[in-house]
Amino acid sequence: MRPPVIAVDGTAASGKGTLARRLAAYFGFAHLDSGVLYRLTALGVLEAGGDPGLESDALAAARALDQARAGELVLRSDAVGAAASKLAAIASVRAALLHYQRQFIDHPPGAAAGAVVDGRDIGTVICPDADAKLFVDAAPEVRAHRRWQELAGLGIQRNEAQVLEELVHRDAADRARAVAPLRQAQDAALLDTTNLGIDAAFAAALALVEPRLAAKLEAKPRG
């Protein structure tokens, strides 16, 4: 039997990454930010002077993914995010990144007891039978403000209106693509974080996830 999985999908800067990290820490599960895979691929294309919308360029980068660079600040830039969204619409690129995600779920690293994976298509495509699924969203202005703050904290100064525009554009593209579009899985619980700080959002996430996981978890989760 595969280990328990929590799928956390949602819009850009909705707080899904932070929630996924905290859920993973709470349950002692491994965490995968699947967006990093798309961002690393985008970085590879951009650094090679390629076109993220071109299948041959994007696929070559997806196949040569350098996981060692997963923590690099440059991955967080909007240019990389926009390029990631472009190549994320290419079916063969998604297929090339699928195996890594499924492996992570089937064999969580560090012999962790389970996995929390965040992204856009985790509950719909990567792991449709996940034990618990969240779909995280918030008002675009709130998400843009959070992203702007996050970037400022990283020393990246941006115009907030521009951040909002890019975010709305990227969500629209992610929702409209033909392959693995951003959408709430039928059995995912919706979590709107518009009016929630991170602690309140985590409490709400836990309240939604814990009952769904209960049957699968033998031991009492760690606090």
Q: Residues near 203 by Cβ (< 8 Å), separated by ≥ 6?
A: none
Q: Residues near 220 by Cβ (< 8 Å), separated by ≥ 6?
A: none
44 counts as binding ligand C5P under rule CB under 6 A: no
| Smallest distance from ligand C5P to CB 218, Å | 29
12 counts as binding ligand C5P under rule CB under 6 A: yes
CA distance 154 to 177: 30
Q: Residues near 182 by Cβ (< 8 Å), separated by ≥ 6?
A: 9, 11, 120, 121, 171, 174, 175
Which part of the chain contacts ligand C5P (CB under 6 A), choosing from 18-26, 63-71, 117-125, 127-135?
Answer: 117-125
| Smallest distance from ligand C5P to CB 137, Å | 13
Question: Which is closer to ligand C5P, CB of 80 or CB of 189?
Answer: 80
104 counts as binding ligand C5P under rule CB under 6 A: no
| Smallest distance from ligand C5P to CB 47, Å | 17
8 counts as binding ligand C5P under rule CB under 6 A: no
Tell me if 221 sits within 8 A of 27, measured CB to CB.
yes
85 counts as binding ligand C5P under rule CB under 6 A: yes
Stretch 21-40 residues interacting with ligand C5P (CB under 6 A)? 34-35, 38-39
Please identify which residue in 44, 81, 108, 114 interacts with ligand C5P, judged by CB under 6 A. 81
Among 98, 10, 85, CA closest to 42: 85
Please identify which residue in 119, 131, 185, 201 interacts with ligand C5P, judged by CB under 6 A. 119
Q: Which two tokens stand for residue 7?
A: 């799928």
What mask, x for binding ligand C5P by CB under 6 A, covers residues 165 to 204? -----x---x------------------------------
| Smallest distance from ligand C5P to CB 59, Å | 15
**Cα-flanking dihedrals φ and ψ of residue 10, to 5°?**
165, 180
CA distance 20 to 9: 9
Q: Tokens 């409209």: give the residue.
A: 176
Among 196, 167, 184, CA closest to 7: 184
What is the binding site for ligand C5P (CB under 6 A)? 12, 34-35, 38-39, 81, 84-85, 88, 119-122, 170, 174
